Amino acid sequence: MAVPVRPPLAQPGETRTIIAWSKEIGDPVSAGEPICEVETDKATVEIESQAEGVLVAKLFEAGAEIPEDGPIALVGSAGEIGTADAAADPVAAAERRATAPPSPAEPAASTAQAAPTAPAAPAAVSVPPGRRRAAVSPRARKRAEQLSVPLAGLAGTGPGGRVIERDVLAAGAAPPAPEPTPTAEPGAAARPAGDQVIPVRGARRLVAERMHASLRDTAQLTMTAYADATRLLQLRAAFKSADPQFEMAGVTLNDLILFAAARTLTEHPEINATCRDGERGLEIVRSATVHLAFAVDTPRVLMVPVIRDAAGLRVRELSARAADLAERCRDGSITPAELTGGTFTVSNLGSFGVESFTPILNPPQAAILGVGAVAWRPTGERAVQQQIALSLTIDHRLIDGAPAARFLQTLCARIAELDVLLAL
């Protein structure tokens, strides 16, 4: 009898969407082998089979949201292919019907004549043997997104016909086939042929909801100060040209800012704080440990991994952890646990030439630091200095303006004397 494949239980309210299947109907499956990739609100995870056999049925297609609980596929013997219907697994069939997207609304039936019943949409389309779609490697899928190369129908040259990166690159070099002009719906304005409609779902929907809730539910105040970046730039140049045995060449300007921020937060615990709903209302939690979150730009969505116990790390250690977390955010291997638990966030747009901006709070954190570009700024009547802009947004319900200003003042001083801070 076919065995259902069930993903781990979702968190309450968490949405999960199947990105792609790595196995097709009839493919052999080993216990513990991934059969599909699922995008959660925080990360992309692989769902593994709990049994050995062949993939008998896919209960959801790529792009479909899956329920918080319930099977998404069936693994059994080759003889069960095509027989895993409601009679074989009525629970799965019922769950599939309950979570299937609603069909277009039909005109209401009159008492004299009932409207014809629309045929039920098939739950999962199995591809006939010999025409199964090949699996796609994660690198190939990422490259296909970057080059806008459709994976459907793409021939794979990897093991077992798997689509690999070079297949996508070869397809991207060929001129794309012309797309049919979409037909405008009755009563709707005609949409230009080049428009792209992107559903807001998964991680993108979570970001949208969290940012809107942040502005709606908190009292945000932003203040900006400028730090002398002379020694910051000198240290970065010295690390870049240092002897390779010291392993300092990878330390970036952002790593040095993260290091300075983590050390400064230990001096200002009121800034290293989060909030929560307690029995008597809102509560402030001042963390004894700095769990430093930092924004990472990825091809899919903005992600904010967390460096645990950042204040206790040497700059090289902090740099290595930040680089590892950022890389795994971009390749999709980051775990949900590594994206939660931050007590303070740093968002750096300086590399894009942005001199200053207003960062949005990352709830439930009480503050976030926005880092701008280094630029020459006047410091007197005939003096200029290379300075870096630091914009601190606070939740004014939790932090007053004066403590926030003192934190910025200390942070500017630590950056200006960063070589001394490194020696401590």
* Helix 315-331 vs helix 253-267: crossing angle, to nearest 10: 120
Q: What is the dihedral of CA 136, 138, 144, 149, to 10 degrees?
A: 10
- CB atoms inside a 10 Å sphere around CB 101: 7
User: For strand 367-378 and strand 344-348, is the pairing parallel, antiparallel, or unpaired?
Assistant: parallel
Record the tokens describing residue 140, joined without a space. 């190939």
* Catalytic annotation, pick one of 69, 85, 217, 400: 400
Question: Rounded to 5 degrees, what are φ and ψ at 125?
Answer: -95, 120
- CA 224 vs CA 59, 62, 386, 395: distances in Å: 52, 45, 16, 15
Contact criterion met (CB below 8 Å) for 19 and 39: yes
Residue 303 in contact with residue 334, Cβ under 8 Å?
yes
Asked if 396 is an active-site residue, the reply is: yes
Say whether the peptide bond before residue 364 is cis (omega within 30 degrees of 0).
Answer: yes
Q: Which residues are catalytic?
A: 396, 400
